[in-house]
Amino acid sequence: MIRICPSILNADHTNLSSEIARIADASDILHLDVMDNVFVPNKTFTLQESMAIIKNSPIPVDSHLMVADPDVVAVEYAKVGSASVTFHWEASASPSETLKAIRGAGSRAALAVKPGTPFSSVRELLSELDMLLIMTVEPGFGGQKFMVDMLPKIREAHEAILELSGPRPWLQVDGGISLETIALAAEAGADAFVAGSAVFKAESPAAMCQQLRELATHSQVK
């Protein structure tokens, strides 16, 4: 199953609800990029602002926390209704506890790794995850180029996920996903795709989601 997750990072923030309405029917999950200007050199939505977006979103929201203190704030994002909360392994002193707290608050729990972090760092945690996010750009900004050198890491994660005896976490990619790159990521084993500029710069964001879905579906590894 393929999941298309548009990121509103570079959508029109003065008119977010109509931007979200444009992709709601064609996508699965709204990807909300939360940045604190500490973990990454950029700042986006506060908890208060995120709450309003989550409350009004017609589709489930995944909060992607690019913050320095996920062990404190991740559970807050779960409590305000995120369908899933994704935080960075690099920023967490106790990922296992934070994953449990997110699930305890009723959300799906996901861990993200930056391009420089090897898959081996999170391998042991796989069985505790509902989703693993492999960043395919340095987190912080939209519109960057997909890093093809992340493909072996995606493949490695996919193979490890197949070996799990229990439920299998989704494998998500984020950064530079477009009509040119989505098939590469799907062939390597990704099944959830964040796309920001490709979707919101398109004339028809919904048609773009549909095209991305078709490409990913045809390229997905079995």
64 lies in the site for Zn ion, by CB under 5 A:
yes
Choice among 36, 62, 130, 174 that is catalytic: 174
In this structure, the number of other CB atoms found within 10 A of the CB of residue 103 comes to: 16
Environment class of 84 (CB within 10 Å of its CB; exposed 0-12, middle 13-18, buried 19+) = buried
Q: Do the beta carbons of residue 211 and residue 4 sit within 8 Å?
A: no
We find the least distance from the C-beta atom of residue 13 to ligand DX5, in angstroms, to be: 12
Q: Residue 217: what are its φ and ψ, rounded to 5°?
A: -60, -45
177 lies in the site for ligand DX5, by CB under 6 A:
yes
Q: Is 28 a catalytic residue?
A: no
Residue 46's region, left for phi above 0, alpha for psi from -120 to 50, else beta, is beta
> Which has the closest alpha carbon to 102: 60, 66, 72, 57?
72
139 lies in the site for ligand DX5, by CB under 6 A:
yes
Taking CB under 5 A as the binding criterion, the range among 27-35, 41-49, 55-63, 198-206 that sits at the site for Zn ion is 27-35
142 lies in the site for ligand DX5, by CB under 6 A:
yes
What DSSP state is assigned to residue 39?
S
Binding mask 27-66 for ligand DX5 (x = CB under 6 A): ----x-x------------------------------x--
Judged by beta carbon distances under 5 to 8 A according to partner kind, the member of Zn ion, ligand DX5, none in contact with residue 177 is ligand DX5
Tokens read off for 126: 């796989």
130 lies in the site for Zn ion, by CB under 5 A:
no
We find the least distance from the C-beta atom of residue 36 to ligand DX5, in angstroms, to be: 12
Q: Which amino acid is at 152?
A: P
Choice among 28, 33, 36, 71 that is catalytic: 33
Taking CB under 6 A as the binding criterion, the range among 79-87, 118-126, 168-176, 182-190 that sits at the site for ligand DX5 is 168-176
Taking CB under 6 A as the binding criterion, the range among 70-78, 92-100, 192-200, 214-222 that sits at the site for ligand DX5 is 192-200
Task: Say how far apart CA 37 and CA 69 lie, in whole Å.
Answer: 12
SS (HEC) of 120-142: HHCHHHHHHCCEEEEECCCCCCC
Taking CB under 5 A as the binding criterion, the range among 13-21, 144-152, 174-182, 204-212 that sits at the site for Zn ion is 174-182
9 lies in the site for ligand DX5, by CB under 6 A:
yes
Enzyme catalytic residues = 33, 174
